[in-house]
Chain A
Amino acid sequence: MLTPADLDALLLTFKVASLATLFMLLIGTPLAWWLARTHSAFKGFINAIVSLPLVLPPTVLGFYLLVLMGPAGFIGKLTNELGLGTLPFTFPGLVIASVLYSMPFVVQPLQAAFTSIGEQPLEAAATLRASPLDTFFSVVVPLTKPGFLTASILGFTHTVGEFGVVLMIGGNIPDKTRVVSVQIYNHVEALEYSEAHWLAGCLLAFSFTVLFILYTVLKTQPNVQQLK
Chain B
Amino acid sequence: MFKYKSLSLYLSLLLLALSQNSLAATTLVAVAANFSKPMTEIAAEFEKSTGHTAKLSFGSSGKFVSQMENGGPFEVLLSADEKGPEKLEKSGFAVPNTRFIYALGKLVLWSTTPGYIDDQGKILSTGGFKHIALADPKLAPYGVAAVEVLKKKGLFEKLQPLFVLGENIAQTHQFVSTSNAELGFVALSQVIENGKIGSGSGWIVPSSEHAPIQQGAVLLKNGAENPAALALLNYLKSKPALAIIEKYGYDLPK
Contact = CB atoms under 8 A, between A and B. Distances in A.
Given A173-B164, A191-B87, A89 B131 contact: yes
Interface string B126-146: 000011010010110000000
SS of A interface (majority)? loop
Interface of B: 60, 62-63, 65-66, 87, 130-131, 133, 136, 138-139, 163-167, 171, 174-175, 178-181
Contact of A189 (B87, B167, B175, B181): B167
Contacts of A85: 130
Interface of A: 66-67, 69-72, 85-86, 88-89, 167-169, 171-173, 185-186, 188-191
Contact of A171 (B65, B66, B87, B165): B165
A108 to B, nearest CB: 31
Contacts of A69: 180
A70 B179 contact: yes
A69 B181 CA distance: 12
Contacts, number: 61
SS of B interface (majority)? mixed
A72 B174 CA distance: 14
Contacts of B164: 89, 171-173
A182 B181 CA distance: 20
Contacts of A66: 174-175, 178, 180
Given A71-B179, A86-B180, A171-B133, A190 B167 contact: no
A189 B135 CA distance: 13
A66 B178 CA distance: 8
Contacts of B174: 66
Contact of A186 (B65, B167, B175, B178): B167
Nearest to B136: A172
A188 B180 contact: no
Which A-B residue pairs are the 7 nearest by beta carbons? A171-B164, A189-B62, A172-B165, A70-B180, A88-B180, A70-B178, A71-B179
Contact of A72 (B60, B63, B179): B179
A173 B139 contact: no
Given A186-B138, A189-B63, A191-B66, A167 B180 contact: no
* Among B65, B133, B167, residue most surrounded by chain A Cβ atoms (within 10 Å): B167
Contacts of B180: 66, 69-71, 86, 88-89, 169
A89 B178 CA distance: 13
9 contacts: A88-B180, A89-B164, A172-B136, A172-B165, A173-B164, A185-B167, A186-B138, A190-B139, A191-B66
Nearest to A89: B164
Nearest to A85: B130
Given A70-B178, A172-B164, A186 B136 contact: yes
A133 to B, nearest CB: 42
Contacts of B63: 188-189
Contacts of B165: 171-173
A84 to B, nearest CB: 12
